[in-house]
């Protein structure tokens, strides 16, 4: 049994070193040992929605360039230059490209860039060689019909304000397309003060002499590269998501789209599509019960899309059909997201312990309301959890304390009976029975609590409220690493102190491992967000205090 434990400990230790080294390699821009080389960056994106350079027409597009029924248009040539309109509100700075009136750049004015605090976080973007992330809409013709206005069609802005003025609560920016295939598309963007949701009204005007039956697509297009500032030491999801009442929230990996294995609901009369990344998300929302189709597709090299396609039905000559949609682009503020659409708050990734993370986040926000500081709210939440598990921890520490008390006798036995393993085990079990020691009594209570502390870990990792949130002194951003590494050093010291308070394993190899493992795992905390390190440090300090008091009661602090 001892040999098996020793082997397992060495395996864990070795794998930890390998994973830490691999994380360090990725952190410095080197390829990972366990994953393929990162997807190539986007070389260029000269036109809204076009992939780098000129994308070839897919099989669904005929020689005439007219898409087959239901196919989202793909340009055979680079789209023509068009006006780029910059719209500014109190929260957003949005660039709308005249090509299809697509959103191709968005700055969040209240969120600082992780690398340069003087700049704003950019979500939608169309920067050559680095990022393609766009919101597009347009029309798909019925089978055999002429092409209709889409995200490549040059649209003209109707004159009007593009900046939300002081005292103004709403701003509208309108774009009109020429008549293409006998149909004109008019898009009206409505921006509201204090809102990350943009209303997008689509008016489809049939100017021809015949009825038309187009479909409207609402698409989010993104490259598959991780967002800037993504850490190599912890994973957060980046990619599309689809929600329906039937299947609920469903994340889709870029690699599954690449392989053509993306699984999700294909049709429904409800639901939404989104693109998710750490702290931020974008989503197309529809309020009505319109029948819709959900699609995921690879559009080009390292370029993927998630779409909703809505049939508009038959539109008679000289009549107009209107469809209202909403485009969300902003931080994953859980309470606000849940009010926008069913399940939208699920874009905030809590990992496998979401059922525990959500009430913990609620409790954290209540503590923040009372204390007014997210750092102190983290400290208070750990105190609450430690209080809730006080008696469970006390049982574990008493068990470890008793183990420490009998440890000299166990060590003497191991030395005296080292050549008689069977007798050694019998004598050890006899001592444990006489002293009322449970060898695993210190482990089980800790295992019971682990899901709660892992859930809290994900709360702190995924909550955008931690971004740019100060604690004290040098900690000015709880979502960034400690600039002077003071918290990680304190956490390492407290971890070593905990090791000293625990009973020393009889096996010398295990005893050495007990001292090495805290040092190994502490390395990762030097690169973790300060809020996470503060959480572990507080937990360590409270655990040490409780363990010291219990050891004192047992007379083990002499």
Name the burial class of residue 129, with classes exposed (0-12), middle (13-18) and buried (19+) by CB atoms within 10 angstroms of its CB.
exposed
Q: What's the rounded Cα separation, in Å, for the pair 193 and 106?
A: 16
Q: What's the rounded Cα separation, in Å, for the pair 423 and 436?
A: 20
Is 527 in a helix, a strand, or coil?
coil
Which pLDDT score, from 0 to 100, does residue 6 have? 42
| Strands annotated E in 125-214 | 125-127, 131-140, 156-157, 170-176, 183-192, 197-206
Q: What's the rounded Cα separation, in Å, for the pair 219 and 6?
A: 54
Q: What's the rounded Cα separation, in Å, for the pair 328 and 220?
A: 11
Closest alpha carbon to 164 in 80, 251, 57, 90: 90
The mean per-residue pLDDT over the stretch 273-295 comes to 95
Which residues fall within 8 angstroms of residue 23, CB to CB, at 6 or more apart?
Answer: 232, 233, 524
**Backbone CA torsion sign across 52, 58, 61, 63:** positive
Segment holding 284, helix H or strand E: strand 280-285
Which pair of tokens denotes residue 49? 């929605």
The mean per-residue pLDDT over the stretch 489-512 comes to 75
Which pLDDT score, from 0 to 100, does residue 21 have? 45
Q: How would DSSP label each residue in 205-257?
A: EE-SSS-B--EEEEEEEEESSPPTT--SSS----EEEEEETTTEEEE--HHHH
Which pair of tokens denotes residue 33? 């040992």
Instruction: Kindly provide the b/e burial profile for residues 458-494, where b requires at least 16 CB atoms within 10 angstroms of the residue's own CB.
Output: bbbbbbbbbbbbebeeebebbbbbbeeeebbbbbbeb
Closest alpha carbon to 78 in 154, 132, 148, 138: 154
Which pLDDT score, from 0 to 100, does residue 238 have? 94
Which pair of tokens denotes residue 434? 């006489």
Which pLDDT score, from 0 to 100, does residue 454 have? 86
414, pLDDT greater than 70: yes
Which residues fall within 8 angstroms of residue 481, CB to CB, at 6 or more apart?
Answer: 526, 527, 528, 529, 530
259, pLDDT greater than 70: yes
pLDDT in tens, 60-72: 333 223 344 467 7
CA 284 to chain centre: 18
35 pLDDT band, cuts 50/70/90, is very low
Which pLDDT score, from 0 to 100, does residue 7 have? 40
499, pLDDT greater than 60: yes
Segment holding 510, helix H or strand E: helix 508-525
Task: For each of the domains in the chain, give its residue range(s) and CATH number, in order of start.
Answer: 84-346 (2.70.98.90), 372-553 (no CATH)
The mean per-residue pLDDT over the stretch 539-555 comes to 79
pLDDT in tens, 318-376: 999 999 999 999 999 998 999 999 999 999 988 788 899 999 999 999 999 999 999 99
Which pLDDT score, from 0 to 100, does residue 244 have? 97
The mean per-residue pLDDT over the stretch 43-56 comes to 35
Choose between 451 and 254: higher pLDDT. 254
pLDDT in tens, 114-172: 888 889 999 999 987 889 999 999 999 988 778 999 999 999 999 999 999 999 999 99
The mean per-residue pLDDT over the stretch 293-321 comes to 96
- Lowest average pLDDT, out of 91-105, 177-191, 337-351, goes to 337-351
The mean per-residue pLDDT over the stretch 194-218 comes to 97
The mean per-residue pLDDT over the stretch 417-441 comes to 75
Q: Cβ(128)–Cβ(119) under 8 Å?
A: no
Q: What percent of the chain has pLDDT over 90?
A: 53
């Amino acid at each position: 049994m001892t040999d098996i434990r020793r082997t397992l400990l060495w395996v864990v230790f070795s794998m930890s070193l390998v994973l830490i080294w691999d994380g360090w390699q990725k952190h410095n821009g080197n390829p990972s040992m366990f994953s393929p080389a990162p997807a190539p960056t986007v070389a260029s994106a000269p036109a809204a929605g076009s992939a780098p350079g000129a994308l070839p027409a897919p099989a669904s597009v005929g020689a005439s360039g007219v898409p087959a029924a239901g196919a989202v248009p793909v340009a055979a040539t680079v789209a023509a230059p068009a006006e780029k309109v910059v719209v500014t509100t109190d929260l957003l700075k949005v660039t709308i490209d005249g090509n299809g009136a697509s959103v191709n750049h968005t700055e969040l004015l209240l969120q600082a860039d992780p690398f340069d605090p003087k700049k704003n976080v950019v979500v939608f973007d169309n920067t050559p060689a680095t990022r393609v992330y766009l919101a597009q809409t347009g029309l798909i013709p019925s089978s055999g019909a002429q092409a209709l206005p889409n995200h490549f069609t040059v649209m003209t802005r109707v004159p009007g304000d593009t900046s939300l003025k002081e005292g103004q609560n709403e701003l509208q920016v309108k774009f009109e397309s020429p008549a293409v295939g006998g149909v004109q598309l008019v898009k009206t963007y409505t921006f509201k003060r204090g809102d990350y949701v943009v209303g997008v009204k689509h008016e489809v005007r049939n100017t021809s002499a015949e009825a038309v039956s187009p479909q409207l697509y609402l698409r989010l297009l993104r490259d598959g590269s991780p967002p800037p500032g993504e850490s190599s030491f912890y994973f957060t999801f980046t990619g599309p998501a689809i929600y329906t009442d039937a299947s609920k929230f469903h994340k889709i990996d870029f690699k599954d789209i690449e392989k053509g294995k993306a699984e999700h609901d294909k049709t429904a009369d409800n639901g939404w599509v989104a693109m998710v990344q750490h702290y931020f998300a974008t989503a197309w929302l529809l309020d009505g019960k319109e029948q819709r189709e959900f699609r995921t597709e690879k559009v080009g090299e390292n370029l993927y899309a998630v779409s909703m396609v809505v049939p508009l039905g038959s539109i008679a000559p000289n009549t107009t059909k209107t469809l209202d949609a909403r485009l969300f682009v902003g931080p994953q503020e859980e309470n606000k997201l849940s009010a926008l659409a069913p399940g939208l708050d699920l874009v905030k990734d809590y990992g496998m312990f979401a059922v525990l993370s959500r009430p913990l986040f609620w409790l954290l926000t209540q503590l923040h309301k009372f204390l007014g500081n997210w750092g102190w709210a983290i400290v208070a939440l750990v105190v609450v959890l430690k209080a809730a598990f006080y008696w469970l921890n006390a049982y574990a520490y008493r068990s470890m304390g008793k183990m420490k008390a009998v440890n000299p006798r166990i060590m003497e036995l191991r030395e005296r009976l080292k050549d008689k393993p069977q007798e050694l085990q019998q004598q050890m079990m006899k001592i444990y029975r006489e002293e009322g020691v449970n060898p695993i009594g210190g482990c089980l209570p800790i295992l019971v609590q682990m899901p709660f502390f892992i859930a809290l870990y994900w709360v702190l990792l995924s909550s955008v409220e931690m971004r740019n949130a100060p604690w004290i002194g040098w900690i000015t951003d709880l979502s960034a690493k400690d600039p002077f590494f003071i918290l990680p050093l304190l956490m390492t010291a407290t971890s070593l102190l905990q090791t000293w308070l625990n009973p020393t394993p009889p096996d010398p190899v295990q005893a050495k491992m007990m001292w090495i493992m805290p040092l190994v795992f502490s390395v990762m905390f030097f690169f973790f967000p300060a809020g996470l390190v503060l959480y572990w440090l507080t937990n360590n300090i409270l655990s040490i205090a409780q363990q010291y008091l219990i050891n004192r009661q047992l007379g083990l602090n002499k």
